[in-house]
Structure 1
C-alpha cells in the first residue's frame, strides 16, 4: 500500500510520517518512508531552487514542475520495489503537491501521468498562520498569503479526489490518533 500525507508547508507532515512509520512497524509491518523532493541529484537541485526568491514566479514554476515530475519518476521505482516486498510506503508529498503549488493543473497532470497514484491520501489541514509559525522561512513558498491560497486549493482538490482530511490544528497526539484510525481502517487493522 502506498500512503501519502499532503498539506501545506508547516502542517506537520514530517512529524506525523515519523509517528505513523513507527506505529506501523510496531504492528509488525515493514515500511519504506519516502519524501519529495528526494535526496537524488534532481531532488537536491529542486531544494536549492526552492530557496530562490524568484521560485514563485511563473517561468520558474514551469521549471520546478518539470523537475518535480522527473524526481517523481525516479521515486516510482523505489515505491514499486517496496510494494513488491509487501512493504507499506509512506510518502511526504506526491504529485498532488504539484497540482496545488504550481499553476495549470491540466499540464501538471499530463507531465505526471506516469507517477503512481497513492492508495490513500491524508491531507493535514492547518491554519496558514500556524503553518507559517512552524516554517523556517528557507524557501519562497513559506509565506502566509501563498500558503492560504495553497491550502484552499488542497481542500478543493480533496473534495474531488476523496482525500481523508485531518484537522492538523489539533495537538500532535490527536492528529496522530486520527491518522492511525484512518490507516487502520484502510488496512483492516485494530488500533
Structure 2
C-alpha cells in the first residue's frame, strides 16, 4: 500500500505522517516513511534551490519540476521493493506536488508519466494565510499569492482524482482522527474504537 500525504507547506503533513505510522504499526502493519525530495544527490540539490529567494519564479519552478521528476524516479525502486515486502509506504509528497507547484501542468504530467501512482492520497487542506503563519521563521520564500494558487491546483486535482480531503485547520487530534477514518477501510482496521 502506497499512501501519500499532500498539501501546501504548513498543513501539518510531517506530524500526521508520524501519527499514522505509529497507528499502523500498533495495528500490526509494517510501515515506513519516505520523503520527497529524498536524500539522494538530486534531492540535496532540490533542497538547496528551495532555499533560494528566487525559488518561486517560473524558470526555477521548471528546473525544480525536472529535478523532482528525476529524484522521484530514483525513489521508485525503493517503493516497489518495500511493497513487495508487504510494507505500507507513507510518503510525504508525490508527483501531485509537482503538478500543484510547478507548471505548465501537461509538461509536468509528461515528465512524471513513469512514476507510480499512490493507492491513497490524503490532501491536508489549509488556507494560505494559516499556512504562512505556521511556517513563519522557517526558510521559505513562498508568498500568499503563490500558496493560494498551489492550494487551488490541489483542490482541482482532488476533485478530478478522488483524493481524501482532510480539513487541516481543525486541530491536530481532529485531523488525526479523520485520517484514521479515511485509512482504516483499506487496512480492514475496525473503526468502532475510533471515537471523537
TM-score (norm 2): 0.94
> Is the Cα–Cα contact under 8 Å of residues 124 and 166 in structure 2 kept in the other structure?
yes
Q: Which residue of 2 aligns with 1:15?
A: 15
Write the distance in 1 (CA, Å) between the matches of 2:77 and 2:111.
17
> Is the Cα–Cα contact under 8 Å of residues 30 and 87 in structure 2 kept in the other structure?
yes
Deviations 1:132-169 (A, max 9, x none): 1111441323x222111111111011000100100000
Write the distance in 2 (CA, Å) between the matches of 1:62 and 1:146.
15
Deviations 1:80-104 (A, max 9, x none): 0110000100000000000010011
Q: Secondary structure at the match of 2:165?
A: strand
Runs (5+) with no aligned partner, structure 2: 192-196
Write the distance in 1 (CA, Å) between the matches of 2:32 and 2:105.
28
Aligned length: 190
Runs (5+) with no aligned partner, structure 1: none
Q: Which runs of 4+ in 1 moved over 6 A?
A: none
Bigger Cα displacement from structure 2, 55-64 vs 43-52: 55-64
Q: Secondary structure at the match of 1:185?
A: helix
TM-score (norm 1): 0.97
Write the distance in 2 (CA, Å) between the matches of 1:153 and 1:112.
17
Write the distance in 2 (CA, Å) between the matches of 1:25 and 1:125.
25
Q: Which residue of 2 aligns with 1:140?
A: 141
Q: Which residue of 2 aligns with 1:91?
A: 91
Q: How does 1:15-34 map to 2 (within 5 A)?
A: 15-34=15-34
